[in-house]
Amino acid sequence: MGFFGSMTKLATKAVKEAVEEAVAPPPAASRDTPPSASGQTFAQQSEKAIPGVIRMFSGCQDAQTSADVFDTSVFQLPAECGPGGAGGACTNAMLKTLLRDEANPPTWVELLEGMRHILKEKKFTQLPQLSSSRQLQLNEPFSVVGGGGGKKRALLIGINYVGQQGELRGCHNDVLSMKQYIEKHGYSSDADSMKVLMDDGQHEMPTMANIISAFGWLTHGIEAGDSLFFHYSGHGGSVKDTNNDEADGKDETLIPVDYQEKGQLSDDVILANLVLEVPRDATLTAVIDACHSGTVLDLPYTLVADSSTMESVASGQTTALPENGEFNFAQLLKVGQLLFTMHQQGASKQEIAVAAFTELNKAGALKGLSGSFASLFNN
């Protein structure tokens, strides 16, 4: 399904869910998190907004760059781990941590801390970040596979921008190294289970259209209990936010090989074509080795591996991924009631969508919603 098809589907889904929420009885509140004005906890609202279980490691915060390393031998990876040579600092710091003791995988926070320590030791200033659609318990063991035991599918994208300004050297190597790792941990390399996009003349080119199409391939037919893996190594960027859904005024982006003609792949498009296409209780694990990639999947829980945060984790004060305070769902019940009333009065879907956008924007709730959800009401 193309981008505009996804937008249409999202619009229909958004209106339908808002109407359903307006007439549904308020759920019981959790003791852990105070309920919002809608009667739902942050966790309940997050699960409603993003049904799938999404976990992402990014190589840096939104305002930072992620290094392309000329010689990854400085990471002292095992000889059997990929081709060596150039590579991304994030990918190689992650693999170094994971391969220390494969019989005893690190916890989520041990992996994050290990990456942070290696990057700092190698004089890289970027801070890795862990984000999720659920309140992940930090001391649970890391795995590239979810807990459902279903089918597994992987998408790996490496872009060196061969012959273009800003050419990179290590992104193809990152993909090959990560491919070797996930093949040892449950993923098959057959054509039905793994897709690789690289600008190396041997694989499908990572163009804008091919990347969006590959997102559709990755999620097509996926069900609860299935596991997905997505690795991207290439340029990342940021562009001006045009729909007022970003607190920093910028949309984070991935940059396809044909960006000079087709532009950048914004987090709004990624959310519509990848994140929201993962069905309930299916799992997507993502590793994004790119600049400005901290929130490129727009997830509601996040932890940056800075000194104060890691001290809080070490002391036991922080045991789960903290809520992203920029998410705000407080006005959804009120808006849902408005939509239901309009629906009863025979308003068109377009009229309902415009009304929803207007009310959410007035309430400031768009800051807490996905860019796609906000932007579809603009169309």
291 annotated active-site? yes
Q: From the candidates 90, 171, 172, 235, give the one annotated as an active-site residue.
A: 235
User: 10 Å Cβ neighbour count for 167?
Assistant: 14
Tell me how far apart the alpha carbons of residues 34 and 311 are, in angstroms, rounded to a whole number: 26
Burial class (CB in 10 A: 0-12, 13-18, 19+), 246: buried
Tell me how far apart the alpha carbons of residues 178 and 175 are, in angstroms, rounded to a whole number: 5
Q: Which residues contact 149 (CB under 8 A, 6 or more apart)?
A: 225
90 annotated active-site? no
User: 10 Å Cβ neighbour count for 306?
Assistant: 13
The secondary element (H helix, E strand) that includes residue 4 is helix 3-23
Q: Token pair of 130, please?
A: 């862990």
Q: Is 56 in contact with 288 (CB distance < 8 Å)?
A: yes
Q: From the candidates 81, 291, 292, 343, give the one annotated as an active-site residue.
A: 291
Q: How far is CA 59 from CA 137, 183, 245, in A?
A: 20, 22, 23
Give me the active site residues, please.
235, 291
